[in-house]
Amino acid sequence: MKIGNEALVIARHISDFLNTYAPSQKTDSMHTLKSYQTSLALYISFLESIKGITQTSLNRKCFERPFVEEWLGWLAANRGCGPETCNNRLASLRVFLKYLGSRDIQFLYLSNDASAIGRRKCQKKKVEGLSRDAIKTLMACPDTKTASGRRDLTFMILLYSTAARLDEMLSLKAEQLHLEQAKPSATIIGKGNKVRTLYLLPKAVAHLRKYMKEFHGSNPNPESYVFYSRNTGSTRKLTQPAIAKMLRKYARTAHEICPDVPLTLHAHQFRHAKASHWLEDGINIVQISFLLGHEQLQTTMVYLDITIEQEAKALATLESENDKKIQPKWRNAAGTLTDFCGVRPMKK
């Protein structure tokens, strides 16, 4: 069985995209990287199980528009994927095909083909935020007699007061905090390396000053992550799973006091909450769009829904606010197409 040169090139680029380019150049988000991995694994599984593609027959035609459209239909019919999931899978495949075309001009047309495929219509989802009572209850949960409790409280206060994305918060370095200025602020680096300045309220500043002195000393290393792993030191930021575990722990405690706190609490709900509370407090939606780092005002409009639902509860303004060592399989002539392309097999 002889593997064609084009098959080798495609398999090598899949491996390089998943294990080198995407983690180092495209995103730090664990969820986005997992989405790329899952989408490509599903596509390769579709080629192998439905289209009968093998290592000897893999070529550029396998990524042309008819194949991609049939794959989307297969996702919906055979795997029960809804329109939003199909759109997310298509978006991930588009990112890979754009990368493929940038590495080899003979594949450039594939990205244009995929871009012409229309997104499926989705039912608009309501954004789930947190009430002010829920925020206040969560802030009261950390044990401030312990170092970890003080760190967790500072993290939640900053997450809420800035409405920053989780990865933006975890990527925050000491040099991005400007606490001694007349108007203290944090410089946030968002999606696409877009920079925005977020001014901090007195309570957030007070907690940050105490936290920085305790965890970073009087002369912090400018390159140190503000919130770092105590096991690996200030040059390694906290992981998203660690934050998810921490928030779920406090959610269990807070839920018993305030049922508004969901047991499935996640970091993005702090962002939703702050956006809706800004609206309730009369801040212009255009200003909120800038504060959230949204490219399009339409993205911010979803928060109008939750502020109407939570209006009755707004009694007062709350001041407080993996493995990169995967061995490329494209040199191995034996095994399945999934092995050959270096992606994890998907369950049928």
pLDDT of residue 52: 94
DSSP 261: S
pLDDT of residue 122: 73
Q: Residue 171: which residues within 8 A CB-CB, separation 6 or more?
A: 28, 189, 225, 237
Domain range annotation of the chain: 5-124+325-341, 132-309
Q: How far is CA 10 from the centre of its chain?
A: 27
Specify the pTM: 0.60
Contacts 24+ apart (CB under 8 A), 46-52: 46/71, 46/74, 46/75, 47/337, 48/336, 48/337, 48/338, 49/348, 50/74
Q: Which of 59, 312, 49, 294 is CA-nearest to residue 303?
A: 294
Q: Which of 320, 325, 152 is CA-nearest to residue 238?
A: 152
CA distance linking residue 313 with residue 280, whole number of Å: 10
pLDDT of residue 336: 78
Q: Where are the alpha helices (H) located in the chain, listed in sequence order?
A: 5-16, 30-49, 65-78, 83-103, 108-115, 132-139, 147-162, 166-170, 202-216, 240-257, 268-280, 285-292, 297-300, 303-309, 337-341
Q: Residue 141: which residues within 8 A CB-CB, separation 6 or more?
A: 250, 253, 254
pLDDT of residue 329: 52
Q: What is the residue-wise DSSP string for 53-106?
A: --TTT--GGGGSHHHHHHHHHHHHHHS---HHHHHHHHHHHHHHHHHHHHH-GG
Dihedral class, residue 121 (left if φ above 0, else alpha if ψ from -120 to 50, else beta): beta
Fold of 132-309: hpI Integrase; Chain A (1.10.443)
pLDDT of residue 319: 45
Structure tokens at 313: 């509860």
pLDDT digits 0-9 by tens, 280-325: 777 776 776 766 766 565 555 655 554 544 444 443 344 444 444 5
Reduce the DSSP state of residue 176 to 3 states and report it.
helix
pLDDT in tens, the chain (348 residues): 556 688 999 999 999 999 999 988 888 777 788 999 999 999 999 999 999 999 889 999 999 999 999 999 999 999 999 999 999 999 999 999 999 999 999 999 999 999 999 888 876 665 566 888 999 999 999 999 999 999 999 999 999 988 888 888 999 999 999 999 999 999 988 776 778 888 888 999 999 999 999 999 989 999 999 999 888 888 888 888 999 999 999 999 999 999 999 999 999 889 888 888 877 777 776 776 766 766 565 555 655 554 544 444 443 344 444 444 545 555 555 577 777 777 777 766
Q: Residue 241: which residues within 8 A CB-CB, separation 6 or more?
A: 30
